[in-house]
Amino acid sequence: MDADSINRKVRRQHAIESTWRYVLLIITAFIMIYPIIWLFGASFKTNAEIFGSINFWPQHFDWTSYVKGWKTGTQYSFTTYFINSFKIVIPKVIFTLISCTLTAYAFTRFDFPGKNILFSIVIATLFLPAVVTRIPLYIMWRNLHLLDSYVPLIAGSVFAQEPFFVFMLVQFMRGIPKEYDEAAVMDGANPLQILGRVLVPMMKPALLTVVLFQFIWSMNDFLTPLIYLSSVSKFPVAIALKLATDATSGFVPWNQTIAMSLIALVPSLILFFSASRNFVEGMSAGGLKG
């Protein structure tokens, strides 16, 4: 068998392997995205059609579920609930970025007594169940008379209360050579200038990953706002969706709830696809590759 035949055989084998690989990926992607497709179709169905048909495509497109769902059954529309969600999410994202970046900077670029012990304690809190701190925190905020406010939902992010983000940023920052810091010092930069002008631009993938995770987690958080908030006018979207599925009335407008659930997914999806490339780089947390 000559070299050309061997090359054709190898190329044919690679083509077959690539075809099967893409077929498998397409099937897997369809299985994973099918719930979203079904939700989209169900949002245009009536309640009877949702439970009476397994087809994801509706017989007739009806936008009524979106209109009525947005108005909700309360005195507030979903506009209020979305604004409330952003009142919680945006400060949490900003404070988490600042506090976790400063904490990671201290652990990677400064030497101080007990540094390794403190870092070990921070990492150990990754394994601490949130339910353990739920009651003490509630009692603390109650004694401070800050229940039914957004302070208990946001305050933790001011103090880098996210060990996962601290760990990820530490790992990423360790991959950035300290020669950059030394060059900046020779140019007269102080520690904050080194962080802001040298390190932060290099940490863009990791920082965008922090933004993405914190945004999605905060938007989807149901239990924490339920514990601290009691006024309907302050509820975020996650609790508003639960109000729409209250079965005590005897009738649940599932098509309206599904429609609002889809709308609630839109901000997270937009953010994810906008930062997907940097998200992968940030999760690798490998710093600079030389």
Residues 29 and 145 in one domain: no
Q: Which domain holds residue 36?
A: 3-65
Q: What is the pLDDT of residue 248?
A: 57
Percent over 90 (pLDDT), the chain? 39
Number of domains composing the chain:
2
Q: Tell me how far apart the alpha carbons of residues 200 and 191 are, in angstroms, rounded to a whole number.
A: 12
Note whether residue 289 is domain-resident.
no
Q: Tell me how far apart the alpha carbons of residues 58 and 54 are, in angstroms, rounded to a whole number.
A: 10
Residues 91 and 190 in one domain: yes
Phi-psi region of 145 (alpha: psi -120 to 50; beta: other; left: phi over 0): left
Domain boundary at 40, 65, 90, which? Answer: 65
Residues 110 and 200 in one domain: yes
Q: What is the pLDDT of residue 54?
A: 72
- Average pLDDT of the chain? 86
Q: What is the pLDDT of residue 257?
A: 87
Domain with residue 115: its CATH number is 1.10.3720.10
Residues 136 and 87 in one domain: yes
- Burial of residue 13 (number of CB atoms within 10 Å: 0-12, 13-18, 19+): exposed
**Does the pLDDT at position 246 exceed 70?**
no
Q: What is the pLDDT of residue 205?
A: 87
Task: Give the residue-averaged pLDDT of 62-74.
Answer: 83
Residues 22 and 146 in one domain: no
Q: What is the pLDDT of residue 28?
A: 92
Residues 51 and 94 in one domain: no
Residues 90 and 171 in one domain: yes
Q: What is the pLDDT of residue 281?
A: 62
Q: What is the pLDDT of residue 287?
A: 41
**Does the pLDDT at position 203 exceed 70?**
yes
Minimum mean pLDDT range among 9-18, 99-108, 114-123, 195-204: 9-18
Residues 215 and 243 in one domain: yes
Task: Give the residue-averaged pLDDT of 46-66.
Answer: 81
pTM for this structure? 0.83
Note whether residue 290 is domain-resident.
no
Residues 149 and 195 in one domain: yes
The token pair that represents 129 in the structure block: 């169940």
